[in-house]
Structure formats: C-alpha cells, structure tokens
Amino acid sequence: MPTARLNLLGEPTLFSEDGIHLSNFPKKAFALAAFLVRSPQARASKRELADFLWPLSAAGQGPRNLRQLLFRVRQFELSAGVQVLNAEGDTIKLDEMVSTDLLLLKEGKWASAAKAKNLLSLYQGPFLQGFPTLGDPVGQWVLQHRRAIEDEFVETLLAAVSEASSELRQSSLSRGIEVAPTSVSLRRELMTDLIKQGKLPEARRILRDIQLVDGHKNFPTPRELAPISAVPNTPTPIDTTPLPQAGRDHAGVPHLIILPPKPMTEAIAEQFMAEALVDDVTIALTRLRSVSILAPHTARQIIIGDVAGQSAMLRADYVVTTKLVGIGAKYAANRAKFSLMLEKASTGDMIWAESIVLNHDTGPIQFAAIANGIALSLVDAIERSKLRSFQASAKPDAYIHYLNGQRDLQILDLPSVRRARNSFKEALALSPNFAPAHAGFSQSLIYEWVMRGRGDIDVLSRARAAAERARDVDPLFGGAHQMLGRASLFAGDFSTSLEHFSEAEALNPHHADMLCDFADTLMHSSLDKRANSTIELAIELNPLAPDAYWWASAGIKFFVGDYNEALQHLEKVKNREPVLRLTAACAAMAGQDSLANLARTRFLETDPGFKLDDWISVLPVRDASHRRHYRDALRKAGFK
C-alpha cells in the first residue's frame, strides 16, 4: 500500500501519500500510534497497549476494547487505501512505510540557522495537542512525553539560532513560543535580546508572560529585571465607540469585566503575580460558561479613572475591581494582599468582596486552585444577584430560566426535577444554542431515570441527545461531557463514561459538581478507592453541599464497607425519599434493624410494586460482586 504521513506534533493528523487529509482515523488510534513511536523499537505487545489505553478497565475489558479499536483501524485502512499498523503475532508496530514528524525531529540534524525554518515547520505544536492531560494515566503519560519532546525541541531550536542574525533569531524565537507555549527558556532568550536592543516595553511584556507561564518558579533575578522594572505598564486608550452587546448573546448571560490592579513600579513581582491571577480567573470563568467575560487584553486597556463610563460602553453587567495592598517598607515581606470587589455596573452596589495573600512560594497547582475558587465564588454571587433582581415582575430571559432550573435540581424529588426540566425547556425556547441549558435538561432526565429506577431506555436516550447537543454547541463546555458520562454510565457503557469524565475533568478540574458526578461514576465502575478520594475533594470544594453529594458519598461508603459513616452522610440529605433504599441497606449491614425496617416501610409506601430482582438487574454496576453486595444488603433489610 502507499505510504502515509502521521503528524503527532500539534493536533494529530494523518495524510495520504498525495497529501490528502484522512480525517476518519480513530482518535484513540493516534494515542496508540504515539505510544508505539515512543516505545523501544517502535512496537508493543497487545497486552501493553490494552493496559496503556484502558488502565481503568475491569479485567478482560481492555483487550476487548483493543480488538474493537484494531478492527476499526483496519476498516479505515481498507477504505482509505493506506497501511498504518502491522500485527505480527501478539505484537503491534507502525507500518514501515509510515513517516512521522516525531521521528524526523529525533533523527534530523538541525543545529544550524539555515535549518531553523524547517525545524519550526516540522514542530507544529505540543505532542498530541488537544488530548486531555488530567484525570487518567493516559493523560499523565501524554503530559510527561509532551514536556520531554518540547524540551528537546526548545534545546534544538536554541542551538539552531545561536549564531543567527538578529532578525532571524527574534522571528524564530517568537514562532517557537507560539508552538511551545509553556517554554520559559525561549521567552527568557527573547527577553534578553529585546533588552539588548533597547526594546524595553516589548521586553516587559515577555517578562509578564514568563510569570504567567511559570509563576515565580523561574522568575528572573532583580538584576535581570533592572533594565525594565522602571518601564511603566501604561494602558493605551481604547476606541470609545460603544460595542453592541459585547460578549453577550440572546440567552441573557451576564457580561463581566475584571480590571487588573493599577500598576505599581515598586512591586513589580507582586504586580505580575496579581495580573497572572486575573488571567487565570478569567480563563476559569470562560470554562464555566455561566458568564461572558471581557478578554484580559481589552480589560488592561480600560482607563482606570473612568470605570463606570467604560463599563457602560462595553455593556458590562458586573465589574470586578482589583487592588494590591500591603506593599511597601512598613509591611512584612511576602505578605502583599490582592483584593477583589464585585459591583453591579448599573448601580455601583457592591455584592461580593474577597482578599487573598500573594505568596511567592505558591506553586502552579495551588495557584490554579485559588483562581478556580475565586471564579466559582464570583459566579455564585452573580447568580444570586440575578435571581434577586428578577423577582416576579420582570419577564425572565433564558438565563433566568436556566438559573431557576439549576435551583430546582438541588432538590431531589420528582416534582422539583420535572419543574427544573420545564425551566430548561423555557430557556432553550428563547436561546436554542445555550449549551448549559441543554446540559441541565439532560441532567434532569438522568435524575428522573435514577429516582424512578425502572430502566427506561427512552429517558436515557433523550438525556444523551441533549448532552450531545450541548457538546455540539460548545465542545469545550465541561458540563456537556459530564452529562455524556452520566448517560453512558446508566446505559452500562463504563469505559465510554470514564472517557467522557476524563474530558470533563480536563476542562473543569476544580468544578465540585462535576467531581461529585465523577465520584459516583467511579463507584458504579467499581473503582471504590478513587471514588472515595474524588467525593472527598468535591465536598471539600463545596462543604455546604446539596443532597446529591451526600447521596453519592453514602453510596461510596457503603461499597467500601463503612456503613456507619454512610448513615451519617445520609442524615445530611434534606429530602430523604430518594435515599430510603440505600438507608435501609446501610442500616441492615450496620446492625440497625429498626432503622432498616423503617426505611424499607417508608420506601414501599411510595413504591408498593417494587421488586428487588427486577430493580437490581438494571442497576449499572461493573463488578458483579458489588451488585451481589447491594442485593444481599437489601434482602437483609427485608426487601423482596
């Protein structure tokens, strides 16, 4: 068969010998091919591949999944007329006619200025760009190799341009930063060049980027900062033409501006840290999709003295002003504070405020967690403000319907869940492309499926369709992948469910509601220890948790055999009706027979036709021993 070209640097792609993009190559197969390329002799056994691609699968499921994937690859090869993989007994390898950019990078000789352009043409971006790098061992492997390959590329590029002309060197370094966005080495090299040429404002911007990318881990020394520390970070006036509903759509999603702190030349390190935090909060807010947010570049240009006027011009509903305090000789070192204040733009009323200590030793993971916590607090304050201002007199927009639906979903009973679904339908009637409302509609159907316990396939199909619509409208909306994961779980497709949740976790790693659903999904997938740590993290992020958290946590505690703690968590559930079965099972196993009998009696009053064997047969649990455990506990509680 003709040769094929496999690109793994940047977004993974496959091309035919004629340069035709072969778009239907399975996404999972790119990860398989990458594993082969990074393996000794570019080959691996089927067992190694199954363990790599499906590390969380139950025994025997990984090899079955691999056989299905290899079959799909073979079907693709036959239809496309190319050969990508070869099987030799129990071993899989890349076909010898397949060329890959990764091997060219490794084998090429690039250490000359003349080769820099070709090197940059080859390296199109991070290894397996677009693959999630959080939530599972595959993601961690991708991240580890992505860093190693980027380091190799950066080292090669720096060697290639070491003797290049100033113009070629700067253009190559700038392009290198575009395709290796986490590289501090390239930025420091470019900053040094700009300082030597007297381009101090440009150097200062690069310095700020270094802080954004790497925090204070590799922050330049005071001596390096000296030439540019006195350069003012002066914002340039922006066009005063009003922007028509900037950043908003017909769903009525609130528009927010976060203003960075006023520049302070006497605290350049803290200034960079504060501006980085503003950017991280902004990024976290864009992931949540509950507000629209002005881009940081524009926010930095707003004239500090005319916040009200600029906010009106940009059609802002809410404004966050920020300030650095605790700076100066009279204050203790490393104790600068960063304060944020949320105001309603139309009235100037303050509705939320927060202050945090800026610690230079804060690592990037803690820094990201702080940013996500601020973002979630902001969204919560804005949602409360919107609901208070609506009352019953105004005609609700799509966003208000959505908030009403979210509020009703906090109450786990069928009337509330159905009321929530009606609110989401109203939101979608006004804004058909409002992804969070599609996800909320899906969630309401999934809740109903769980509470009714009748295995209704049609309800799950509708839930999946709504979640798919949310994903199609907004592929980067974590809530869509979260609901796809739940729908897949209750349909019994555990591997697909975990893949969706890995995607959701990569998009929203600190979203407590997502972590709660993920924990419950891990429990149904019989991954009890990981489920337990995940639900504990969710509750830590949302300590005044709604009923769903305590229900999920109690289920996990039941399966790990901690029945008394499970009962303690069930006590925190405000609406007890949906958890009566679980309460009876936990009480029976804990030896609390009177509580088990009471819970069983109350449950059968609402569902007198309940049959244990029928219900347990549709319960999605991967490990048969878990199913038997729950069935035996319910029988011990008196269910038949």
Q: Do the beta carbons of residue 588 and residue 594 sit within 8 Å?
A: no
Q: Give the residue carrying structure tokens 């700067």.
A: 170
* Concatenated DSSP letters of 484-544: HHHHHHHTT-HHHHHHHHHHHHHH-TT-HHHHHHHHHHHHHTT-HHHHHHHHHHHHHHSSS
Return d(Cα 21, Cα 124) in angstroms, integer: 16
| % the chain with pLDDT above 90 | 26
φ/ψ bin of 455: left (φ > 0), alpha (ψ from -120 to 50), beta (otherwise): left
Look at residues 470, 533, 541 and name the one whose alpha carbon lies nearest to residue 500. 470
φ/ψ bin of 315: left (φ > 0), alpha (ψ from -120 to 50), beta (otherwise): left
Q: For residue 581, what is the enclosing H or E element?
A: helix 580-589
- Show which of 46, 73, 107 is a domain's final residue: 107
C-alpha dihedral (542, 546, 547, 551), degrees to nearest 10? -20
Look at residues 31, 277, 15, 34 and name the one whose alpha carbon lies nearest to residue 132. 31
Return d(Cα 412, Cα 549) in angstroms, integer: 11
Return d(Cα 263, Cα 201) in angstroms, integer: 14
Same domain (yes/no): 375, 475: no
In a domain, 133, yes or no: no
pLDDT value of residue 319: 85
Domain that holds residue 628: 510-640
C-alpha dihedral (75, 76, 78, 82), degrees to nearest 10? -150
CA torsion sign for 507, 512, 517, 522 is: positive
Return d(Cα 55, Cα 495) in angstroms, integer: 10
C-alpha dihedral (370, 372, 375, 377), degrees to nearest 10? -70
Look at residues 403, 354, 357, 360 and name the one whose alpha carbon lies nearest to residue 374. 354
Maximum average pLDDT range among 66-75, 311-320, 358-367: 66-75
Number of domains in the chain: 4
Return d(Cα 144, Cα 163) in angstroms, integer: 31
Per-residue three-class SS string for 157-189: HHHHCCCCCHHHHHHHHHHHHHHCCCCHHHHHH
Q: What is the DSSP letter of 213?
A: H
Same domain (yes/no): 515, 613: yes
Could you tell me which residues are beta bridge partners of residue 293?
A: 256
Same domain (yes/no): 441, 351: no
In a domain, 336, yes or no: yes
In a domain, 249, yes or no: no
Residues contacting 458, CB < 8 A, separation 6+: none
> For the chain, first and last CA: distance in Å?
62
Same domain (yes/no): 318, 432: no
Same domain (yes/no): 411, 342: no
Look at residues 424, 490, 495, 482 and name the one whose alpha carbon lies nearest to residue 452. 490
Order of strands across the sheet with 91-94?
Answer: 43-45, 91-94, 85-88
- Residue 269: which CATH number? 3.40.50.10070
Q: Coil, strand or helix: which one is 13?
A: strand
Residues contacting 327, CB < 8 A, separation 6+: 264, 266, 267, 270, 336
Identity (one letter) of the amino acid at 1?
M
pLDDT in tens, 585-620: 999 999 999 999 999 999 998 888 889 988 888 888
Does residue 139 carry a pLDDT above 70? yes
- The larger pLDDT score, comparing residue 378 to residue 226, is at 378
Return d(Cα 193, Cα 140) in angstroms, integer: 35
pLDDT in tens, 316-355: 778 888 888 766 554 455 567 888 888 877 777 777 777 7
Look at residues 504, 517, 585 and name the one whose alpha carbon lies nearest to residue 546. 517
Same domain (yes/no): 301, 410: no
Q: Do the beta carbons of residue 274 and residue 358 sit within 8 Å?
A: yes
Residue 125 has phi, psi (to 5 degrees) of 155, -175
Same domain (yes/no): 517, 614: yes
Burial (CB count <10 Å: 0-12, 13-18, 19+), residue 618: middle
Return d(Cα 249, Cα 258) in angstroms, integer: 19
Order of strands across the sheet with 4-7?
Answer: 13-16, 4-7, 98-100
- Residue 456: which CATH number? 1.25.40.10
- Residue 46: which CATH number? 1.10.10
Give the pLDDT band of residue 136 (cuts 50, 70, 90).
Answer: low
pTM: 0.52
Could you tell me which residues are beta bridge partners of residue 256?
A: 293, 318
Mean pLDDT of the chain: 80
C-alpha dihedral (542, 543, 544, 550), degrees to nearest 10? 90
Which region among 172-176, 213-217, 306-310, 580-584 has the lowest average model confidence (pLDDT)? 213-217
pLDDT in tens, 461-513: 999 999 999 988 877 788 899 999 999 998 888 888 998 998 888 777 767 88
In a domain, 164, yes or no: no
Same domain (yes/no): 279, 381: yes
- Show which of 390, 425, 453 is a domain's final residue: 390
In a domain, 571, yes or no: yes
Look at residues 126, 122, 99 and name the one whose alpha carbon lies nearest to residue 10. 126
| % the chain with pLDDT above 70 | 78
- Show which of 77, 107, 137 is a domain's final residue: 107
pLDDT value of residue 66: 93
Does residue 110 carry a pLDDT above 70? no
Same domain (yes/no): 261, 373: yes
In a domain, 184, yes or no: no
pLDDT value of residue 588: 95
In a domain, 9, yes or no: yes
Same domain (yes/no): 332, 418: no
Return d(Cα 405, Cα 566) in angstroms, integer: 29
How far apart, in Å, are the Cα atoms of 382 and each of 397, 410, 474, 516? Answer: 15, 18, 22, 23
Residue 242 has a CB neighbour count (10 Å cut-off) of 11
In a domain, 400, yes or no: yes
Same domain (yes/no): 520, 638: yes
What ranges make up the beta strands (E) of 41-174? 43-45, 85-88, 91-94, 98-100
Does residue 243 carry a pLDDT above 50? no
Same domain (yes/no): 267, 366: yes
